[in-house]
C-alpha cells in the first residue's frame, strides 16, 4: 500500500495540475470577487431617496461601464417576484470541486511523499482518509457553532480557536507544506458548504414563501447573511494557505502553525478595515496595525530560525558532506565547502538555506531537482541538511 493509490504518468499529472489550477484560480477569483462586491454593496447601501416602494431597504448608485447603475435592496423580497433572478453559487461549487480535484492529483495520489510527514510512518491511505475526514469535521464543527451561537463576540473568538486548533493539528499530522494547505482546504470546504447547505437554501425558501403567498420568515436570510459575511472574512486567510506552498521559509518555519494563524489574523483584519471603510468609517490606524503585525511576524520567523536549529555534531556534519558529494548535489549546486560550482540549481552559499528547507527539498525535490526520499535514508537526509545549513553562506 506504500506506493500511491493510483500512479499517474508525470505528463498526465502535470497537465491535470495546470488545467485544474487554472480553473481553480479563475473560479476562486469569480467567487471572491462576488463576495467582495456584495459585502461592499451591503455596507454601502443608503436609505432610499424615493420612498414610494416600501420594500426597498437601501440603495446604492454606482458608476461603471459608461453609465450609472442604481441598485436597490429589498428586505426580504419585493411585493411581486421578478421573472428573472441571478444566482451566485457556481463560483463557489466550481472552486471547491476543482480544489478537491487538485488535492487529489497533487497530494492524495502521491500521499507518501507529499502528505505524510517526512520520517513519519503513517500509512498513505490513512493520511488521505484523515485529511478528507477533517474536511467533514471542519464543516460539522463550524455549522454546530453557528447554530448554537449568534453573538459575534462569542462566535469569532471560538472560530479563531478552532482555526488555531486545525492549524496545530494539521502540523502534527501532515508534512509542513501539506499542513497549511489542509487548513485552507478545511476553511474552503466550510465556505463552499455555507453556500450549498445554508445560503442557497435560505434564498430558495424566500422564493418558495413568496410563491405560496406566505410572508417570508426573515430568520434564515439573516443566518445566511451572517454566514456570507463570515465567508468574506475567510477569503484572505484561505488565499494565503493556497499561495504559501511557494514559500518554504513560511511553512517550514518553527511553529509554522502559529505563523499561519498570525498571518490569517492579519488577513481577516485587513478585510475588517475595508468593510468598515465601505460603511464610511476609515480607520487608518487599522491598516497600520495590520502592516506592523505582518512585519512583526516576518521578524519573529527570521529570529526563531536563528536560535532553535539545534547545532549538529561534527560527525553528522562530516557524514552530511559525504552525502552531498556522493549523491550528486554538486552536479547542480554551488557550495564552496564541497568544492562544487554548478549553476543548475540555486547557489547554496548565496541562498543560505535552513536545515529544514534542505531536508524538505532533498526529500521531496522541486521542479528540476529530483526527490531523494527513495535513494537516501532519513539519517543521510538529516545529515546532508545539517551539513548544508552549517556551511552555506560561508
Ligand atoms: C538535477 C539537479 C539538482 C540536483 C542533483 C540537486 N538539486 Fe537541489 N535544486 C535544484 C534546483 C533546480 C532547485 C530549485 C528548485 C525550485 O525552487 O524550483 C534546487 C533547490 C534546492 C534547494 C532550495 C534552495 C532555495 O533556496 O530554494 C536546496 C536546499 C537544495 N536544492 C539542496 C540540494 C541537495 C542537498 C542536493 C543533493 C542531495 C540537491 N539539492 C540535488 C537542482 C538540483
Question: What is the per-residue pLDDT for 278?
Answer: 87
Q: Cell match 403567498: residue?
A: 213
Question: What is the per-residue pLDDT for 50?
Answer: 82
Is the CB of 362 inside a 6 Å radius of any atom of ligand 1?
A: yes
Mean pLDDT of the region 82-106: 94
For residue 66, pLDDT beyond 90: yes
State which H helix or E strand residue 62 sits in. strand 56-64
- For a substitution probing ligand 1, which of 333, 387, 388 has the most ligand atoms within 8 Å of its CB? 333
What cell numbers appear for 49 in the block? 431617496
Q: Record the pTM.
A: 0.71
Question: What is the per-residue pLDDT for 137?
Answer: 97
Mean pLDDT of the region 69-74: 93
In 313-382 the beta strands, taken as DSSP E runs, fall at 334-335, 340-341
Give the residue whose CA is nearest to atom 1 of ligand 1.
369
Top-confidence range, 1-5, 217-221, 309-313 = 217-221
What is the 113 CA–ligand 1 centroid distance (Å)?
17
Mean pLDDT of the region 64-83: 90
What is the 310 CA–ligand 1 centroid distance (Å)?
23
What is the 261 CA–ligand 1 centroid distance (Å)?
29
For residue 74, pLDDT beyond 80: yes
pLDDT, averaged across the chain: 89
How many CB atoms are closer than 10 A to CB 221? 18
pLDDT digits (tens, 9 = 90+) for 321-361: 999 988 999 999 999 889 898 888 899 988 889 888 999 99
Is the CB of 48 inside a 6 Å radius of any atom of ligand 1?
A: no
Decide which of 57 and 186 is more confident: 186
In the DSSP assignment, the letter for residue 24 is H
**DSSP code per residue over 162-215:** HHHHHHHHHHHHB-HHHHHHHHHHHHHHHHHHIIIIIIHHHHHHHHHHHHTTPP
Decide which of 94 and 309 is more confident: 94
Is the CB of 126 inside a 6 Å radius of any atom of ligand 1?
A: no
For residue 310, pLDDT beyond 60: no
Confidence of residue 309 (pLDDT cuts 50, 70, 90): very low
Give the residue whose CA is nearest to atom 7 of ligand 1.
369
pLDDT digits (tens, 9 = 90+) for 255-296: 889 999 999 999 999 999 998 998 889 999 999 999 999 999
Question: What is the per-residue pLDDT for 1?
Answer: 39
Question: What is the per-residue pLDDT for 213?
Answer: 87
Q: How big is the chain by its Cα radius of gyration, in Å?
A: 25
Is the CB of 331 inside a 6 Å radius of any atom of ligand 1?
A: yes
What cell numbers appear for 194 in the block? 455555507
pLDDT digits (tens, 9 = 90+) for 86-96: 999 999 999 99
Question: What is the per-residue pLDDT for 198?
Answer: 94
Question: What is the per-residue pLDDT for 314?
Answer: 79
Q: Cell match 445560503: residue?
A: 199
Q: Indicate the class that CATH gives domain 314-391.
A: mainly alpha
Question: What is the per-residue pLDDT for 303?
Answer: 62
What cell numbers appear for 253 in the block? 518555519
> Closest ligand 1 atom, CA of 352?
26
Decide which of 4 and 81 is more confident: 81
* Alpha-carbon span 266 to 293, nearest angstrom: 7
Mean pLDDT of the region 59-81: 91
Confidence of residue 304 (pLDDT cuts 50, 70, 90): low
Mean pLDDT of the region 19-46: 94
> Closest ligand 1 atom, CA of 358?
29
Q: Where are the domains of the chain?
A: 10-39+87-307, 314-391
pLDDT digits (tens, 9 = 90+) for 204-250: 998 999 889 888 888 888 889 899 899 999 999 999 999 988 887 88
Is the CB of 325 inside a 6 Å radius of any atom of ligand 1?
A: no
For residue 26, pLDDT beyond 90: yes
What is the 369 CA–ligand 1 centroid distance (Å)?
5
Is the CB of 298 inside a 6 Å radius of any atom of ligand 1?
A: no
Is the CB of 243 inside a 6 Å radius of any atom of ligand 1?
A: no
What is the 37 CA–ligand 1 centroid distance (Å)?
43
The pLDDT > 70 percentage for the chain reads 95
pLDDT digits (tens, 9 = 90+) for 128-149: 999 999 999 999 999 999 999 9
Mean pLDDT of the region 380-393: 88
- For a substitution probing ligand 1, which of 246, 338, 344, 345 has the most ligand atoms within 8 Å of its CB? 345
Question: What is the per-residue pLDDT for 352?
Answer: 86
* Alpha-carbon span 179 to 258, nearest angstrom: 12
Contact 137, 129 (CB under 8 A): no
Confidence of residue 112 (pLDDT cuts 50, 70, 90): confident
Amino acid at each position: 500500500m506504500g506506493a500511491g493509490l493510483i500512479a499517474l504518468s508525470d505528463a498526465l499529472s502535470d497537465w491535470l495540475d495546470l488545467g485544474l489550477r487554472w480553473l481553480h484560480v479563475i473560479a476562486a477569483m469569480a467567487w471572491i470577487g462576488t463576495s467582495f462586491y456584495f459585502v461592499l454593496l451591503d455596507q454601502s447601501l443608503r436609505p432610499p431617496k424615493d420612498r414610494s416602494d416600501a420594500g426597498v431597504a437601501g440603495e446604492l448608485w454606482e458608476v461603471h461601464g459608461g453609465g450609472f447603475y442604481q441598485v436597490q435592496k429589498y428586505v426580504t423580497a419585493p411585493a411581486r417576484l421578478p421573472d428573472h433572478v441571478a444566482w451566485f453559487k457556481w463560483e463557489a461549487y466550481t472552486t471547491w470541486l476543482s480544489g478537491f480535484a487538485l488535492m487529489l492529483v497533487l497530494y492524495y495520489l502521491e500521499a507518501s511523499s507529499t502528505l505524510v510527514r517526512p520520517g513519519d510512518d503513517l500509512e498513505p491511505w490513512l493520511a488521505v482518509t484523515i485529511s478528507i475526514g477533517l474536511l467533514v469535521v471542519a464543516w460539522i464543527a463550524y455549522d454546530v457553532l453557528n447554530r448554537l451561537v449568534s453573538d459575534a463576540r462569542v462566535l469569532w473568538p471560538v472560530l479563531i480557536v478552532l482555526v488555531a486548533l486545525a492549524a496545530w493539528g494539521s502540523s502534527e499530522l501532515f508534512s509542513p507544506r501539506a499542513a497549511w494547505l489542509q487548513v485552507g482546504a478545511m476553511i474552503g470546504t466550510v465556505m463552499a458548504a455555507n453556500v450549498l447547505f445554508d445560503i442557497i437554501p435560505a434564498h430558495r425558501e424566500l422564493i418558495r414563501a413568496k410563491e405560496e403567498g406566505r410572508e417570508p420568515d426573515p430568520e434564515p436570510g439573516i443566518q445566511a447573511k451572517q454566514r456570507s459575511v463570515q465567508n468574506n472574512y475567510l477569503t484572505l486567510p484561505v488565499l494565503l494557505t493556497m499561495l504559501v506552498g511557494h514559500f518554504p521559509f513560511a511553512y517550514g518555519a518553527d511553529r509554522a502553525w502559529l505563523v499561519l494563524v498570525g498571518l490569517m489574523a492579519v488577513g481577516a483584519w485587513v478585510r475588517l478595515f475595508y468593510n468598515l471603510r465601505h460603511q464610511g468609517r476609515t480607520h487608518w490606524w487599522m491598516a497600520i496595525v495590520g502592516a506592523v503585525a505582518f512585519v512583526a511576524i516576518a521578524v519573529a520567523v527570521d529570529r526563531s530560525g536563528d536560535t532553535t536549529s539545534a547545532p549538529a555534531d561534527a560527525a553528522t556534519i562530516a557524514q552530511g558532506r559525504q552525502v552531498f558529494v556522493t549523491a550528486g548535489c554538486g552536479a547542480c549546486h554551488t557550495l564552496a565547502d564541497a568544492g562544487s560550482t554548478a549553476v543548475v540549481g540555486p547557489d547554496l552559499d548565496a541562498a543560505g538555506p535552513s536545515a529544514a528547507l534542505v531536508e524538505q527539498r532533498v526529500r521531496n525535490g522541486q521542479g528540476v531537482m529530483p526527490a531523494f526520499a527513495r535513494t537516501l535514508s532519513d539519517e543521510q537526509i538529516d545529515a546532508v541538511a545539517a551539513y548544508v545549513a552549517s556551511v552555506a553562506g560561508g
